[in-house]
Amino acid sequence: MDNFTFYSPTYFVFGKETENETGKYVKRFGGHKALIHYGGGSVKKSGLLDRVKKSLENDGIAYCELGGVKPNPRSGLVYEGIDLCRKEGVDFILAVGGGSTIDSAKAIAAGVPYDGDFWDFYQGKPVDEAVPIGVVLTIAAAGSEGSGDSVITKEEGMFKRSAGGDAMRPKFSILNPALTQTLPPYQTACGITDIMAHLYERYLTNTKDVEVTDRVIEGLLLTMIHEAPRVMADPNNYEARANIMWAGMLAHNNCCGVGRTQDWASHNLEHELSAMYDCAHGAGLAVAMPAVFTYNLNHDVMRFAKAAVRGWGIQMDFDNPERTAKEGIEALRSFLISLGMPKNLEELGGKEEDIEKLAYTACYGDVETGTTGGFVVLNQKDCENVYRLML
Amino acid sequence: MDNFTFYSPTYFVFGKETENETGKYVKRFGGHKALIHYGGGSVKKSGLLDRVKKSLENDGIAYCELGGVKPNPRSGLVYEGIDLCRKEGVDFILAVGGGSTIDSAKAIAAGVPYDGDFWDFYQGKPVDEAVPIGVVLTIAAAGSEGSGDSVITKEEGMFKRSAGGDAMRPKFSILNPALTQTLPPYQTACGITDIMAHLYERYLTNTKDVEVTDRVIEGLLLTMIHEAPRVMADPNNYEARANIMWAGMLAHNNCCGVGRTQDWASHNLEHELSAMYDCAHGAGLAVAMPAVFTYNLNHDVMRFAKAAVRGWGIQMDFDNPERTAKEGIEALRSFLISLGMPKNLEELGGKEEDIEKLAYTACYGDVETGTTGGFVVLNQKDCENVYRLML
């Protein structure tokens, strides 16, 4: 196991009707005037925004609002949010939404006290200071409610890049699984796929002898395999929603990813897909993961076999572990398709002729490393090959 | 799943030689003058205390010392520590040791700013304020490095009781698995048993539909079953020590225990054993657990069968689930004995004629609830029966 530090200081408030305590927690964590940041009309239509405002009012918290966050959140709205916060003297940022809204809120929070362009943080500058952030979560997916990370797309060039730092960790996150019951099934499935990707990206490691994190990842994967079909069959199943929501947090606050190298090739290749085609992140991952894993299979057959046996309950073929490993990847692919996820680039709206550009941007985009992935280091040619496996 | 809050703000620093960063973290969390609190001679003999002091000196942290913490830490030393901290103007308490030392440090930390008797906190008064605490851990066992709990024995009457509160959570915990390599095998085994008990106490729940926490507990249990024999066979196995140490933290910071009722009957019955016979906590648990589980088996056969199948890899007997459930308890018992743990009351130094008193104190001790246990509520008569199963 590698040396590591682990820090997850967010106060989680989980369960039914907990959004009515929002004001109490903004107050506890020092807020006086909040920016309520959200996406489209669903938080209005559902009445959630009104309940959150009422809770703020009950605790004497002033607020202003900025809606309009879109999936794959853009830099333009971040600049707008930073200006608004400065003008209004905001001292707390409250994200009411999913990963995109939270990530946008984190970018605003980091940008407000910073003299330069907030995009610097998305080009590698550490975030040392940020306005405190709170979350009312509306979808189990990104894990951003328990992480110090944020992903933003810069409109000039459509670069999708990430920033991170402890200052961007939410002070509190309110997780009410009932709020996710009204999601369209496709969005629920995208969230489930994202959570499963967070588990796989950590599982695919070159660090030896990490049984404890392997076992926790497997346990969370088994949970997703058990709960996802229940929630797809009955969107109002609170218990299944609750299990998925807590799994989503644990999958990404990194308690199961510490002390080991991780991969993130699927995420990185997906970022180019959603930047180019504006597809849902989860949908892109559903196409990217089986391709990346198939391409990387022979790097460590036994690790893929372990995921197959322990995660998917496949019988080990002791004479041919590669067969078991492949069966595990096929099980993942079939599972995601059964949730309604796309199965190839075409279904994402992608085209074969874009592959060269996708691979180039993945390797030589805004961050010019020339490679991607920590499990197997993929160069531009490798990325092209992986994208071709998505056809 | 029940509504819950989860808060684990401790900064964990994990890995080789991390104790040399102690001063840096005391400074980061606002300390200027520390009380170094520890147990016996082992931290001196191993050179650990010197390395910690050197690290404090390097970062300009003043310190004073209080050694002498014993297993099942006593109130007397806590009073001494509180006096010393006040006299010396200590603003940070650094526990260098295992669960007993950390628990004693937490009691001192809560007592220093409090006008009354610190024992009030161990009789139910919430801990709202405490001097900040840091930890350099020397044994994987109690999980106190990541919890807000503390257990102290009051010398008058030998009552062993617990207190808890977020203010008692360590600001940082330094976890270097190499520091545990010099432990006597018996202590290593006691620590392993304690970790497994923390998992079982959470697993035994009456809350339905808690797959995510079930699966994480099972994953951690599987880790212990895999790693414990490795570390008993080779005490210098750093990797096995590392897996156990992280599992010990995750087992008890409650990320796998939220949203569900828990049991704690084994711990409560054990507290009376170690209070009366001054046996090691883990040794007492090794005797208490199989007895409690056997007594409670018919309350929920399927839950014990699930632990047997998923934790111990026992084949499910679909015609006779009770047989599977019992096999799981026997597997636990044999496993603990294989680690060198005692198998009955006699080996703990206990006597049949004490059972009435043990059962009375468990139910009507300092806290007069008359019962113990959350999975099955055990009254005094039940407790007598359970203690008899330990003969």
> What pLDDT does residue A72 have?
86
Asked if the C-beta of B14 comes within 8 angstroms of chain A's C-beta atoms, the answer is: yes
Q: Is B64 helix (H, G, I), strand (E, B) or coil?
A: strand
Mean pLDDT of A103-117: 98
Report percent pLDDT > 70 for chain A.
99
pLDDT one-digit tens code per residue, A280-329: 999 999 999 999 999 999 999 999 999 999 999 999 999 999 999 999 99
Residue of B nearest to A1 (CA): B239
Mean pLDDT of A147-165: 89
- Distances from the Cα of B253 to the Cα of A10, A71, A289, B205, angstroms: 14, 34, 32, 17
Asked if the C-beta of A14 comes within 8 angstroms of chain B's C-beta atoms, the answer is: yes
pLDDT classification of A40: cutoffs 50, 70, 90: confident
Q: What are phi and psi of B159, to 5 degrees?
A: -80, 130
Q: Which residues of A touch B255 (CB under 8 A)?
A: 250, 255
> What pLDDT does residue B366 have?
62
Asked if the C-beta of B216 comes within 8 angstroms of chain A's C-beta atoms, the answer is: yes
Closest CA–CA distance from residue A6 to any residue of chain B (Å): 5
Mean pLDDT of A30-50: 96
pLDDT classification of B204: cutoffs 50, 70, 90: very high
Average the pLDDT over each of A69-73, A266-270, B9-13, B83-87 and give the range with the smallest value: A69-73
> What pLDDT does residue B156 have?
86
Cβ pair A12:B3 closer than 8 A: no
> What pLDDT does residue B24 have?
98
Q: Which residues of B touch A6 (CB under 8 A)?
A: 11-12, 14
Closest CA–CA distance from residue B245 to any residue of chain A (Å): 9
- Residue to substitute from A212, A234, A245, A255, interface B, most B β-carbons within 10 A: A212
- Distances from the Cα of B52 to the Cα of A30, A48, B14, B105, angstroms: 35, 51, 15, 16
Residue of B nearest to A15 (CA): B3
Task: Work out the mean pLDDT of chain A and round it to a whole number.
Answer: 96
Asked if the C-beta of A176 comes within 8 angstroms of chain B's C-beta atoms, the answer is: no
Residues 6+ apart with CB under 8 A from A353: none
Report percent pLDDT > 70 for chain B.
99
> What pLDDT does residue B72 have?
86
For B219, the closest of A13, A209, A218 (CB atoms) is A218
Q: Tell how far CA A266 is from the center of its chain.
A: 12
pLDDT classification of A52: cutoffs 50, 70, 90: very high
Cβ pair B239:A213 closer than 8 A: no
pLDDT classification of A365: cutoffs 50, 70, 90: confident
Asked if the C-beta of A301 comes within 8 angstroms of chain B's C-beta atoms, the answer is: no
pLDDT one-digit tens code per residue, B145-203: 999 999 999 988 877 788 999 999 999 999 999 999 999 999 999 999 999 999 999 99
* Other beta carbons within 10 Å of B124: 10
Asked if the C-beta of B7 comes within 8 angstroms of chain A's C-beta atoms, the answer is: yes
pLDDT classification of B223: cutoffs 50, 70, 90: very high
| B155-186 b/e (C-beta count within 10 Å ≥ 16 → b) | eeebbbbbbbbebbbbbbbbbbbebbbebeee
Cβ pair A209:B247 closer than 8 A: no
Whether the pLDDT of residue A367 is over 70: the answer is no
Residue B192: closest CA among B239, B149, B241, B256 = B241
pLDDT one-digit tens code per residue, B277-321: 989 999 999 999 999 999 999 999 999 999 999 999 999 999 999
Cβ pair A247:B210 closer than 8 A: no
pLDDT one-digit tens code per residue, B70-98: 988 999 999 999 999 999 999 999 999 99
Q: What's the rounded Cα separation, in Å, for the pair B129 and B114?
A: 8
> What pLDDT does residue B275 have?
86
Whole-model pTM over 0.90 = yes
Report percent pLDDT > 90 for chain A.
93
> What pLDDT does residue B160 have?
79
ipTM of the complex: 0.96
Query: What are the structure tokens assigned to B378, written together?
Result: 């055990």
Whether the pLDDT of residue B41 is over 90: the answer is no
Instruction: Answer whether B334's CB lies under 8 Å from B286's CB.
Output: no
Whether the pLDDT of residue B51 is over 80: the answer is yes
pLDDT one-digit tens code per residue, B233-263: 999 999 999 999 999 999 999 999 999 999 9
Q: What's the rounded Cα separation, in Å, for the pair A202 and A161?
A: 19
Instruction: Answer whether A345's CB lies under 8 Å from A357's CB.
Output: no
CA contacts within 13 A on the Cβ side of A202:
26
Residue A227: closest CA among A303, A335, A313, A98 = A335
Cβ pair B18:A12 closer than 8 A: no
Q: What are phi and psi of B366, to 5 degrees?
A: -60, -35
Q: Could you tell me the sign of the dihedral formed by the alpha carbons of B89, B92, B93, B97, in that order?
A: negative
Cβ pair A219:B216 closer than 8 A: yes
pLDDT one-digit tens code per residue, B326-384: 999 999 999 999 999 999 999 999 999 999 999 999 998 766 789 999 999 999 999 99
Mean pLDDT of A199-227: 98
Q: What are phi and psi of A138, to 5 degrees?
A: -120, 0
